[in-house]
Amino acid sequence: MNTVSLIDQRLDDMTKTERRIAAFFQEHLNDFAFLTLDRLAAAINISTTSVIRFCRRLGFQGFKDFQESLRSDIMHQPDLLDKFQRTQSSLMSDELLARTVQQGVLCIESSFHAIPYETLAESVRLLLQAGRIFTFGMKESYALAHYAYTRLLTVRDNVFILSAGYNGEVESILSLTPEDVCLVFLFHRYTKMTLQILPLLQKQGAKIILVTSAPFDQVEKYSTLLIPCLVDAGGIKNSALAPICLADYLCNALAVQNGDATLRYMQCSEKLFDSGAVLGS
């Protein structure tokens, strides 16, 4: 029996505090899987002892034992057939739209609740100091890479999309330097090509901000900074909402941090529009 089912089965026998923990668990599964005990207890606003007692109520030796079991459950990444079957079950009611919206919002809230502010601040610092910024993603993640590119290009210069991996092309990696930052979007299920490109980026010395979903075991070692995003919203395909919000945040934060330099850059962009050099101006 997986951890989620175990909690559902024991819910009726739980105390008021344990039910509160269980309710938080149902909405913040990734927090339970990857936050420290202290941070998790603070997020729920209860004591660490209460969390440990909750884990033992479920038959685990303690929080660490519970967390390892949960991570093992998460390691199972559903394939498209699994996702179709769970989505199809929602069609039995008229709540599919509401469920889709609710799960998308949950992805955003859970992701940003789990990301330490220090990680976000450091990502902005790296992007601010980068000689060049390259965004990168493959398959569906290419859309996220392009989205982030259009946002960051609005507030600073020397922003590019890294084309490595498309049609067998890898030469663009050779131009990377330690002064560059690669903003990489990568989500399960990982492709062989993606896992081959990450160490190549690292070998060039470029700093890698890796936006990905748990578990991180295969890719964390290649990142300078890892930003976890929850993307499994219970539908057929991953939800892009949390990564999109992250790209918007990085754009806004970069503009604020860069101050007058961003203002001058954007003024030049506006002059280009006003000159009639851009179609439709």
Give long-range contacts, CB 8 A cutoff, 24+ apart: 88-95: none
Q: Which of 188, 187, 183, 227 is nearest to 207 (CA)?
A: 183
Q: What is the pLDDT of residue 278?
A: 56
Q: Is 246 helix (H, G, I), strand (E, B) or coil?
A: helix
Which tokens sit at 26? Answer: 């149902």
- Give the per-residue pLDDT at 154: 93
pLDDT of residue 93: 53
DSSP calls for 55-96 = HHHTT-SSHHHHHHHHHHHHH----HHHHHHHHHGGGGSS-H
What is the pLDDT, as a whole number, of residue 202? 94
**Domains of the chain in sequence order:** 3-75 (1.10.10.10), 113-274 (3.40.50.10490)
Task: Provide block-wise average pLDDT over 10 residues at a time, the chain (281 residues).
Answer: 76 87 78 84 91 92 88 60 53 66 82 87 97 93 95 95 76 92 90 84 96 84 93 81 96 94 87 68 43
Note the pLDDT tens digit of each residue in 248-258. Answer: 999 999 999 99
